Structure 1
Amino acid sequence: MFHGSIPALVTPFRNGAVDRKAFAALVERQIAGGSSALVPVGTTGETSTLTTEEHKDVVTLCVEVAAGRVPVIAGAGSNATDEAIDLVEHAKAVGADAALVVCPYYNKPNQDGLEAHFRAINDAVALPVLLYNVPSRTVVDLLPETVARLAQLPNIVGIKDASGDVARVSQHAALIGSAQFVQLSGEDPNALGYLAMGGKGCISVTANVAPDMCAAMHAAFQAGDLAGAQAIERKLIALHKALFCAPSPGPAKYALSRLGLCEPDVRLPITQPDAAARETIDAAMALAGIHA
């Protein structure tokens, strides 16, 4: 079900509120550009500064606009297990195809606590769940042995791995022993390497800005055209890096504003990129051939 280029969608704002019209247009652009699924209200969607009502509304809107044309993987993470269950329940109720559930952050659970968290979600809601491991943000690291145990549960279908350790693709595969467990990269710069190691795709920040190029890179690799995939990736690598030259998703929203697709507004404590960062993003967009 989940493969290829999957954007972690930004949540556009206008005058401090969610810009639903701009969000719907971004969803349409992603589908037209060849993205294979959509992730609303993940990290890039500024879920940490959305209210619960806004979070649920954006998921609902994404499902409505996608209208079954591509799967919707709803961001549904929390550091409180009961809240995560509530968000997964909502995702199922409005017709999302899966939930992306980040490791609990701030309270620093051990491996037993992480496993119990995801087991509770698995037991509470019959909806496919992708684990989301991003130690740089959560402080905790979901280790391969824990992932392997969770993979035996009926609703745990895969992982978005943003640990930066590409070797984990092989570790997970060796421990789990099932091709049905979907491994997705959570970092654009290692997406091609992740595919080569046996991963199925990437939940991408760059796809917000360049959906067609990201989709084409994955399609080329799957068609056996490694040289073609490499050529696209070389055009995108500066953009991958530039979109994190200031706190995310500020750079992605700035790039989208350059394309006339949404305002560059972010919510505090994230601030918009400064002049030097904007120059870096502009240069990376030019290298990739992306113009308004």
Structure 2
Amino acid sequence: MCGWHLRTETEGRHDDVVTRLREGMAGGVLSFPLTSFDDDDGALDLDSYREYVAAQVATGPGAVFPACGTGEFFSLDEDEYRQVVTATVEETAGRVPVVAGIGYGWAQAVRFARIAEEAGADALLVLPHYLVRGPQSGLVAQVEQIAARTRLPLIVYQRDQVAFSAQSLTSIAALPNVIGLKDGHSDLDQLQRLTLAAPDGFLFFNGAATAEVQARAYAAVGVPAYSSAVHAFAPEIAAAFFTALRDGDDARVRQLLRAFYIPFVELRDRVPGYGVSLVKAAARLRGRPVGPVRAPLADPTPADLADLERLLAAGLDLVSETAETATAGAAR
């Protein structure tokens, strides 16, 4: 096996992790923390990262997903990855599940999987593989190769060049340690087919960019859980939207979409890579020393940064005003 060792034991469907994730998803958004880099040389700033993760966990997310897309997984070497996942596990201290990102071809993904396993992660998010497109049989084989070589449960992320058919989903869902799928395509017709093809208890996640914009549509096909990039810099806004959506407060949902989320998406779409760059810049505006993005991403232009600052202030003011109104009403 060229040095690779297959995992011959199984651990059921990892019911404990599935239960913790389902309970967490019902009570909060999913946190995808930014990875902190030094302003001067771009090196990993682990102390800043620890402080940032601790602050994220204090807001009560459903789970924490380190070293994924928002965490710039693609720019981390294996040693940096180990430090990031280890620090996340230590800072969460078992309060919420830790789901670490892995990716590239299956051989490299397995190397990251073993690092995450040693670091104490609860599960893995299998990011889309690098560069090439493959047939459905190849997409299934990629997951099979990873699943056979780790004890940790897997959530498979489909976006860009990875899109599973219902038949392929049935195949990977039958693997003992594949517990869920995160969707970034927003093809709701196909997503409905996938949810119907999946076994009972299989987890689905809305992984669309700025997922709140499509959260109601995803929930309508049975996928209410979502990841929130906004939570990475404005957990107050993310929590307000989550609560409104959960409570069926459609007027509040529309208000937040109009005043903050749609303008944020329009700003995000100006430049490729802003899905991460703007989030990191917004975190810096909130006083979090997360540092710059690493190339090939680029930090926002001064003009876009000014627009971001105005939008962020407006979003925070909206949430604060609503909270004050609610408090005043309760006091009467």
Same fold (TM over 0.5): yes
Q: TM-score, normalised by structure 2?
A: 0.79
- Deviation per residue, 1:238-257 (Å, 9 max, x gap): 23443454324211111111
Query: Given the alignment, which residue of 110, 126, 142 partners 2:164?
Result: 142
Residue type matched to 1:215 in 2?
A
Q: Are the structure 2 counterparts of residues 218 and 234 from structure 1 closer, same or farther at C-alpha, using a change threshold of 3 Å? A: same
Query: Given the alignment, which residue of 82, 90, 101 partners 1:75?
Result: 101
Give matches, 1:122-137, under 5 Å.
122-135=147-160
**The residue matched to 1:100 in structure 2 has which SS?**
strand
Match of residue 270 from structure 1: 297
Range with greater deviation from structure 2 (280-289 or 248-257): 280-289
What is the CA-CA distance between 1:190 and the residue it aligns to?
Answer: 1.4
Assess if the C-alpha contact under 8 Å between 2:173 and 2:199 holds in 1: no
Residue type matched to 2:169 in 1?
V
Give matches, 1:182-201, under 5 Å.
182-187=203-208, 188=211, 189-201=213-225
Ranges in structure 2 where 5+ consecutive residues have no aligned partner:
1-19, 319-332
Q: Are the structure 2 counterparts of residues 201 and 36 from structure 1 closer, same or farther at C-alpha, using a change threshold of 3 Å? A: same
What is the CA-CA distance between 1:290 and the residue it aligns to?
Answer: 6.1
Match of residue 157 from structure 1: 179
Ranges in structure 1 where 5+ consecutive residues have no aligned partner:
none
Assess if the C-alpha contact under 8 Å between 2:82 and 2:119 holds in 1: no
Q: CA RMSD in A?
A: 2.1
Assess if the C-alpha contact under 8 Å between 1:104 and 1:114 holds in 2: no
Assess if the C-alpha contact under 8 Å between 1:63 and 1:96 holds in 2: yes
Q: Are the structure 2 counterparts of residues 234 and 167 from structure 1 closer, same or farther at C-alpha, using a change threshold of 3 Å? A: farther
Query: Given the alignment, which residue of 25, 33, 57 partners 1:31?
Result: 57
Assess if the C-alpha contact under 8 Å between 1:160 and 1:203 holds in 2: no
Q: Are the structure 2 counterparts of residues 194 and 8 from structure 1 closer, same or farther at C-alpha, using a change threshold of 3 Å? A: same
Larger radius of gyration: 2
State, as a whole percentage, how many aligned pairs show the same letter.
Answer: 29
What is the CA-CA distance between 1:74 and the residue it aligns to?
Answer: 0.3
What is the CA-CA distance between 1:117 and the residue it aligns to?
Answer: 0.8
Assess if the C-alpha contact under 8 Å between 1:34 and 1:212 holds in 2: no
**The residue matched to 2:64 in structure 1 has which SS?**
coil
- Deviation per residue, 1:194-244 (Å, 9 max, x gap): 123211411222211122332343344334444444444444412344345
Assess if the C-alpha contact under 8 Å between 1:184 and 1:203 holds in 2: yes
Range with greater deviation from structure 2 (263-272 or 216-225): 216-225
